[in-house]
Amino acid sequence: MEKRPLGNSGLLVSKMGLGCMSLGTDEKNALSIVEAALEEGINYFDTADLYDFGVNEEIVGKALKNVRDDVVIATKVGNRWNDAKDSWRWDPSKSYIKSAVKDSLHRMGIDYIDLYQLHGGTIDDPIEETIEGFEELKAEGLIREYGISSIRPNVIKAFAEKSSIQSIMMQYSILDRRPEEWLPLLEEKKISVVARGPLAKGLLSNKMLDKASDKIQKEGYLSYTFKELSELLSSIQHKLLNDRQMTELALQYVLSSPAVAAVVPGASTVEQVKNNARAVKGSALSKDEIELIRQLAKNDKYEQHR
């Protein structure tokens, strides 16, 4: 699978990574999914200390133990479970970041993290202190690079201007084109986008509306009503899916931006990994296809959360 540079870091990541949140806690099943990803040429694996109270990190570390030097392991920090483990609170402090990294390293059984990401953020955070924490971890060799996971414009702008982040993970899909406001700035700053949710809860998979939950059918998806969603997907199906399937169209659209290093769809089965990888290995979209998608899926439907 083709690899793309992650910012200016020197790290090369497969243009499709594996979002590990969907792996679950059945270790045998999770290991088979990771193995399938490796067989497809995927080298980028994204987890978080929040997932399954750290069990996800443990499974990812175990699954990648024998290929550690050949993969890029990314995890996240900033959300602290309470003692009862029934809720968490936000903590972007330097002291917590420097403490939490050791727990993540221990759970995964590794000596360093390739990409350590702040798992959220607000403009009221002590951003300079947060950056200082990440920079110290780099100097200490506990992480290679750091990034943030955010869709908040002011947070993105602050980190882009004040830090040496290499990546921003953000939700990006045909149905959620908010990141396009920031792609020119990120491309200029050589900060890569890692795109989560590129299949929009399965709505942009080959099953399309068959994947719509009761909630989506009642409330719609983001700023789309269910009726608008049905009309849009129908238009895409009739105008763009002659030689492609929806999954391929959706993933290739996100990958068409030079700022995007990787799409990171989740997978709960081996077959999902294989189908997504097949779509990513398909041919890139033409300019006409990209333009038609942009005409159909308007980018003026969203209110930015600042």
Residues designated catalytic = 51
- Residue 181, token pair as written in the block: 């406001």
Instruction: With beta carbons less than 8 A apart as the criterion, state whether 119 and 77 touch.
Output: yes
Which residues neighbour 270 within 8 Å (Cβ) at sequence distance 6 or greater? 32, 33, 36
| DSSP alpha helix (H) spans, the chain | 27-39, 55-64, 94-108, 127-139, 153-162, 183-189, 214-219, 226-240, 246-255, 270-280, 287-296
**Cβ–Cβ < 8 Å for 118, 146:** yes
Q: Give 170-208 as a DSSP string.
A: EE-BTTB-GGGGTHHHHHHHT-EEEEE-TTTTTTTSTTG
Q: Which residues contact 178 (CB under 8 A, 6 or more apart)?
A: 151, 170, 171, 172, 299, 302, 304
- The token pair at 92 is 């972007």
